Amino acid sequence: MKLLCFLFISGSTLAQPSNDIGFLKPSDTLNTSRRTSLYISEAVALGTALVGLNQLWYKDYKQSSFHFVNDNDNWLQMDKLGHVYSSYQIGRFGAESLRWSGASQKEQLIYGATLGLGFLSVVEVFDGFSQEWGASSGDVLANVSGTALYVSQELLWNEQRIVPKFSFHKTQFPALRPSTLGATPLEQVFKDYNGQNYWLSFNLHSFTKLESVPKWLNLAVGYGATGMVYATNAVALENNIIQSPYRQFYLSLDVDLTKIKTNSNVLKTFFSVFNSLKVPAPTLEFGPKTKLRAYAFYY
């Protein structure tokens, strides 16, 4: 669900001015009219998203007193990585948008990079008052981690050397439970944890400073899980399903699209938006069942 929230918000990033790239270049000095317009636009967009989420997701379920649930064992933690990814990427959008307005780095980090954390925290409150779900301490920790990943890199290096990314491949599991894992290909991207992969993509040039290493070349470490029809084996057994989920780990090459040189603002904006997705590339998979498997291209 939280990944759906992120993708809803990220549609607006098509107009975002990321770093010194995009259709609109950042202002060298504080442009108060830009900043004011930005804050108003974000407030309206986030408010609309929350109202829409409440109507589409929560209104058909009974409310309860605020409570926490322990869902940390669900889906082999794939949903938690979705929170880390969403919090980071929404925060990146917030910080880079403030950079466009000419805001200081301090303001970018305090009011921009925390955009994802704030938004997802409100969603967590919605969960907490829903009888169907409940707030999750694991979700809260993941949200904080995603924001911290962005902020810490800006403070340490003044750049993002490690970027969370996402990829997806189709699996056979939604056919067994389409209402939860997705009835259509688009729904499956959001709901089928078996086909999702989350990556940490490391920029090799930024870490090594070697001129022989292309500035756009990354090394990505990925995580996935498969074999899941229900969130846990116990719940699956209650529904007469025997499942054997297992974790998957990946090592792959990747591309930092924002480091590709071009004079086209159209391409720069495209690269900024889609740098949140892992580029298909040669990959090694490690896991308790596969042991070692190589792919010419994996996504």
Nearest to 46 by CA among 107, 102, 122: 122
* Same domain (yes/no): 115, 139: yes
* Same domain (yes/no): 53, 94: yes
* Same domain (yes/no): 42, 86: yes
* Same domain (yes/no): 150, 177: no
3-state helix, strand, coil in the chain (%, to 5): 50, 20, 30
* Same domain (yes/no): 109, 235: no
Please identify, among 160, 189, 220, the residue that sits at the C-terminal boundary of a domain. Answer: 160
pTM listed for this prediction? 0.89
Q: Note the pLDDT of residue 22.
A: 39
Q: How far apart are CA 204 and CA 214, in angstroms?
A: 8
Beta strands in the chain, from DSSP E residues, in sequence order:
68-69, 135-136, 162-168, 196-203, 217-226, 246-255, 281-287, 291-298
* Same domain (yes/no): 62, 87: yes
* Same domain (yes/no): 154, 168: no
Please identify, among 160, 176, 191, the residue that sits at the C-terminal boundary of a domain. Answer: 160
Residue 152 has pLDDT above 50, yes or no: yes
* Same domain (yes/no): 151, 165: no
Domain that holds residue 115: 1-160
* Same domain (yes/no): 223, 202: yes
Q: How far apart are CA 122 and CA 128, in angstroms?
A: 10
| Phi, psi dihedral angles at 166 (to 5 degrees) | -135, 145
The per-residue pLDDT for range 184-220, each reduced to its tens digit, is 999 899 899 999 999 999 999 999 999 999 999 999 9
* Same domain (yes/no): 130, 26: yes
* Same domain (yes/no): 136, 182: no
* Same domain (yes/no): 32, 86: yes
Average pLDDT, integer, range 260-285: 89
Q: Note the pLDDT of residue 33.
A: 85
Our count of domains for the chain comes to: 2
Average pLDDT, integer, range 97-126: 90
Please identify, among 100, 126, 160, the residue that sits at the C-terminal boundary of a domain. Answer: 160
